[in-house]
Structure 1
Amino acid sequence: MDAQQPVRRRTQRERREATVARLLDATIAAIAEAGYAGTSVGEVCARSGVSRGGLFRHFDSRLDLVVAAAERVAARHLEAAADHLAAAPPADLRAALALMRGRHRDRENVVWFELMVAARTDADLRARLAPVAERFFADITRLARRVPALACFPDETLHLLVSSTRNLLDGETISRTLVPEPDVEEARLDFLADFARLLAARRTSASII
């Protein structure tokens, strides 16, 4: 009979990382389900199983926790999109736009919608979230550069295309909870793809002239 292997005790760092992960996952789930206003410290503690004292050992305030959760959502969003691009690069502009839409509609991305709306009237949240959002949006544009169909665009044009599409899909994702228009939504991808092709054609014509 084999001797039982001793159970390795987790290091203090591993325990800390596990606790922080539970708190962030609980915060993300709470914001997605209950909204920013409904995500209290008590709610996060109840969902995570971490005491208030434990929470405040890792985060100085509720705001710090919420901003860290936003950063976690952004990182996951970018990682998922990068993995998809590595495994199956979209064949054309429409496929790339469909991928982008899918990421916008992901359940966790709702956290960003909730926080952006809340930041409109919460100056402290707005000040803390703005640089996080700026980095996130810039990273989305840089990631778009890896899409073969978008590689031809100069930086300024790519930024225009990605930021315009991002804003449009943000609005679509929110409005469709009240008024879903599946036919219009599908046609919208065709419209966006045609718009991107027009930008590419204009650039080609200008370079020939």
Structure 2
Amino acid sequence: MATQTERRERTIALLLDAAIASLNERGYAATTTHAICERAGLSQGALFRHFPSRRALLAAAATEVARRQGIAFAAADLGPVISREALHRVLRELVRLGSSAENRTWHELMLAARTDEELRSALEPATDEYHRILMAGAAGLFEAASAPDPRALLRVVISVVDGLALAVPVSHSAADIDAAVDQLATLVWPVLQE
């Protein structure tokens, strides 16, 4: 028989999974507390027992997404970028991670937060953690590079990867993505050699 703590953790996990899936599949506006509870197989009372508001649940979902992305990034074991081939491999993997359901959820929340100040404020701790995870995980990628500011370079790369990830389901074919990754590698490699 499950303990109260185990039941609580399971309920929270169900709610987070349902929120993440709904944000990815239905978008921010359609991710209502009703939709989340229906997907999780729980009552709204269960949701509000653990989260005081929809925004609080979505902020917790963002924190969970950051955690999952950090695990996925670490599991990819990309290693340092010491050759142009390694750079291509890293960029391809970053695009794959950027196109994941978790990252699409992240984008959905970031776009909604652009015009919702309360959501933006609720997401701030998760955003800080997400950037910390990305920078820490990627620090080793460019450690062998002599680029003047590897963190700034990483921000540029992540911005391009995020742009590609947003476009993938709408307008970009696999060939388009491959061509973009090749072009990005062509632009980034000389910067790493400075």
TM-score, normalised on structure 2?
Answer: 0.89
Distance 1:194 1:155, change over 3 A: closer
- The amino acid across from 2:53 in the alignment is S
Q: CA deviation at 1:196?
A: 2.8
Paired position in structure 1 for 2:29 = 37
Distance 1:155 1:195, change over 3 A: closer
Flag structure 2 segments of 5+ consecutive residues without an equivalent: none
Q: CA deviation at 1:154?
A: 6.6
What do residues 89-121 of structure 1 show as CA deviations (whole Å, max 9, x unaligned)?
A: 476111011111110011221111111111111
Paired position in structure 2 for 1:69 = 61
What do residues 119-153 of structure 1 show as CA deviations (whole Å, max 9, x unaligned)?
A: 11111011121332132123212101233xx2224
From 67, 92, 102, the equivalent of 1:108 is 102
Distance 1:139 1:156, change over 3 A: farther
Paired position in structure 2 for 1:200 = 192
Distance 1:124 1:155, change over 3 A: farther
Alignment of 1:140-179 (within 5 A): 140-147=134-141, 150-153=142-145, 157-179=149-171
Separation (CA, whole Å) in 1 of partners of 2:174 and 2:72: 25
Q: CA deviation at 1:51?
A: 1.1
Question: Contact conserved, 2:99 with 2:166, CA < 8 A, in 1?
Answer: no
Q: Which portions of structure 1, spanning 4 or more consecutive aligned residues, are displaced by more than 6 angstroms?
A: none
Separation (CA, whole Å) in 2 of partners of 1:124 and 1:153: 40
Matched residue SS, 2:144: coil
Separation (CA, whole Å) in 2 of partners of 1:200 and 1:62: 43
- For the aligned residues, what is the CA RMSD? 1.9
- The amino acid across from 1:175 in the alignment is A
Flag structure 1 segments of 5+ consecutive residues without an equivalent: 1-8, 203-209
Percent identity over the alignment? 35
Paired position in structure 1 for 2:49 = 57
- The amino acid across from 1:35 in the alignment is G
Separation (CA, whole Å) in 1 of partners of 2:139 and 2:6: 36
- The amino acid across from 2:154 in the alignment is V
Distance 1:159 1:96, change over 3 A: same
Paired position in structure 1 for 2:121 = 127
Separation (CA, whole Å) in 2 of partners of 1:163 and 1:68: 24
- The amino acid across from 1:162 in the alignment is L
Question: Contact conserved, 1:59 with 1:65, CA < 8 A, in 2?
Answer: yes
* Greater RCO (CA < 8 Å, at least 6 residues apart): 2
Question: Contact conserved, 1:30 with 1:39, CA < 8 A, in 2?
Answer: yes
- The amino acid across from 2:17 in the alignment is D
Question: Contact conserved, 1:141 with 1:158, CA < 8 A, in 2?
Answer: no
Paired position in structure 2 for 1:80 = 72
Question: Contact conserved, 2:16 with 2:57, CA < 8 A, in 1?
Answer: yes
Q: CA deviation at 1:157?
A: 1.8
TM-score, normalised on structure 1?
Answer: 0.83
Q: CA deviation at 1:155?
A: 8.9
Matched residue SS, 1:152: coil
Deviates more, 1:184-193 or 1:19-28: 184-193
Paired position in structure 2 for 1:206 = none
